[in-house]
Structures are given as structure tokens and as C-alpha cells.
């Protein structure tokens, strides 16, 4: 039997007035060392399985600061029905608010079929750090089918819309030199900050398999492929540290 579940987070200047877990999506208020409030997603059961429909909605209201992370990787598995699974994330960040969306890796296990769409709405003065990491198959395993899309609007206008499909049911060429080139880990880091309006970042390569690209707006996108999850995290973490340091110089 498939699971339909939606977890909800609302953060404002006073705290977390809404923190609602649902099904396999358990939300926990955790300790933060900085000005941000912090919520950790804890998997309460195996999910997403084939046929599941999961969603997370986060609303960071004006002036609030929130970090959302996860206790473990998300593992997409095949279900008994063989149906397609969905995982939808909706993020809203208000005026002078800040969200750091830092989940753990999404692993597409053999036989799985998952579509994930992250939709972000940003106010003109909102700030965002968003990291996505996808791992195609567990160690020594063929990947499942995974389609991910990230859609970002700022001040009501499109800022970024990108999609990637991988695995046996994806269109041909996904593993070729123009896309993954045989790598099994792929990710991106998006940083949106009004400070980039006055000092935009310079485009540059980050090693052999990653690149930093300024967007047509106050934002920077880092994209990377790597041999495994550890190497991918290292590239994105170094880029994150460098970008944040540059904003505060």
C-alpha cells in the first residue's frame, strides 16, 4: 500500500509555530549554534517506495532564519506495485528572511522510479542556500530511475529552472560525456543573496568536474559530478564555504 504524506514547517521571528510530521517524514527541532532555528528531518520508515507521494512544505516568514537538514540519506526503493513515486518540496522565503536547505543525499536504488520537484519562491530581499545531491545506486549496484527538477522564482520572476533525468528509463545519453560522463554522483549548490547585485561572482571551474556559474539575478549556481557521495560532498562543501566567505569580505 502506497503512502501519501505531507510534512509542514513554518518559521517566524518568534520560533516554529508549525512543525507537523506526517508518515515517514518526522520533523525534529534541533539545537543550532548560530542565529538560525534548526529542523532536522528524521526518516521514520523506509520511503519513498514505488507509489508513494511525499511532500515537504516550508514557509520562512519575514525576518526569520531557518536551517533544515536531515539525519540520514533518503533512499528511493522499488515498491511491490512497481509504480512511480513522487517527492515534492515547496519552499517559501519572505522579506529579509534566510533559509539554508541542506538535506542529505538522495540515493536511487536499483529498480526504483522516483520523480522529485523542488519549488522555491523568494521575496526580493530573501537569502537562500540550497544543496541537492543525488547518488545513482548503492555501492556496486545499478541505478534506479530518477528525475529531479528545481524551479526557483524570485520577486515573482523566474530565476532558475533545471531538470535532470538519469537511470534505465531516462532518455538516452544521460550517462554520456555531455551529462554524467560515467559518474554516479551529481549535485548542485544554489546561493541567492541580494549582495550579488553589487558584486556578482565570476564564473570559473572548480576542479575537473564542477563549475560555478553566476545567474541572471543575485545568485550563483555550482554544479558538480563525482565518482561517489564523499567526493561530491567535498566539492560542494568547499564551494559553500568559499561563497559565504566571499559574501562577508
Note the pLDDT of residue 47: 65
Q: Which phi and psi angles does 195 have, rounded to 5°?
A: -60, -25
Note the pLDDT of residue 46: 61
Grid cell for residue 133: 545531491
Distance CA 88, CA 94 (A): 20
Lowest average pLDDT, out of 105-114, 162-171, 174-183, 226-235, goes to: 174-183
Terminal-residue alpha carbon distance, the chain: 53
CA 10 from chain centre, in angstroms, equals: 18
Note the pLDDT of residue 179: 82
Note the pLDDT of residue 151: 98
Q: Is 221 helix (H, G, I), strand (E, B) or coil?
A: strand
Note the pLDDT of residue 161: 97
Between the alpha carbon of residue 80 and those of residues 9, 27, 149, 173, the distances in Å are 31, 27, 26, 29
Note the pLDDT of residue 122: 98
Q: Which phi and psi angles does 91 have, rounded to 5°?
A: -125, 130
Between the alpha carbon of residue 17 and those of residues 94, 112, 209, 226, the distances in Å are 16, 36, 42, 39
Give counts: helices (H), strands (E), the chain: 1, 18
Q: Is the pLDDT of residue 153 over 80?
A: yes
CA 14 from chain centre, in angstroms, equals: 26
Q: Is the pLDDT of residue 248 over 70?
A: no
Note the pLDDT of residue 249: 63
Core vs surface per residue 36-46: b (16+ CB within 10 A) or e: bbbbbbebeee
Angle at 104 (CA atoms; ends 101, 107), nearest 5 degrees = 130
pLDDT digits 0-9 by tens, 90-132: 999 999 999 999 999 999 999 999 999 999 999 999 999 999 9
Grid cell for residue 27: 520533523
What is the rounded average pLDDT of the residues 57-78? Answer: 95
CA 75 from chain centre, in angstroms, equals: 14
Contact 77, 105 (CB under 8 A): no
Specify the DSSP element, H or E, that contains 120. strand 113-122
Contact 191, 237 (CB under 8 A): no
Between the alpha carbon of residue 37 and those of residues 89, 107, 147, 154, the distances in Å are 19, 27, 31, 23
Q: Is the pLDDT of residue 29 over 90?
A: yes
Amino acid at each position: 500500500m502506497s503512502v501519501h504524506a505531507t510534512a509542514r514547517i513554518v518559521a517566524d521571528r518568534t520560533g516554529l509555530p508549525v512543525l507537523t510530521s506526517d508518515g515517514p517524514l518526522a520533523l525534529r527541532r534541533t539545537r543550532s549554534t548560530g542565529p538560525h532555528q534548526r529542523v532536522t528531518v528524521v526518516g521514520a520508515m523506509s520511503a519513498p517506495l514505488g507509489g508513494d507521494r511525499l511532500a515537504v512544505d516550508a514557509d520562512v516568514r519575514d525576518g526569520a532564519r531557518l536551517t533544515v537538514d536531515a539525519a540520514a540519506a533518503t533512499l528511493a526503493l522499488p515498491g511491490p506495485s512497481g509504480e512511480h513515486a513522487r517527492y515534492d518540496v515547496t519552499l517559501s522565503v519572505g522579506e529579509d528572511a534566510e533559509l539554508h536547505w541542506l538535506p542529505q543525499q538522495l540515493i536511487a536504488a536499483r529498480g526504483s522510479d522516483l520523480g522529485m520537484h523542488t519549488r522555491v519562491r523568494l521575496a526580493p530581499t530573501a537569502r537562500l542556500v540550497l544543496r541537492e545531491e543525488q547518488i545513482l545506486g548503492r555501492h556496486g549496484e545499478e541505478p534506479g530511475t530518477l528525475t529531479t527538477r528545481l524551479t526557483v522564482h524570485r520577486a515573482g520572476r523566474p530565476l532558475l529552472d533545471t531538470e535532470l533525468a538519469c537511470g534505465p528509463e531516462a532518455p538516452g545519453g544521460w550517462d554520456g560525456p555531455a551529462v554524467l560522463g560515467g559518474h554516479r554522483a551529481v549535485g548542485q549548490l544554489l546561493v541567492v543573496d541580494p549582495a550579488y547585485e553589487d558584486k556578482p561572482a565570476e564564473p570559473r571551474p572548480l576542479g575537473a568536474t564542477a563549475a560555478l556559474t553566476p545567474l541572471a539575478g543575485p545568485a550563483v549556481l555550482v554544479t558538480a559530478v563525482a565518482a561517489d557521495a564523499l567526493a561530491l560532498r567535498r566539492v560542494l562543501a568547499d564551494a559553500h564555504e568559499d561563497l559565504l566567505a566571499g559574501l562577508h569580505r
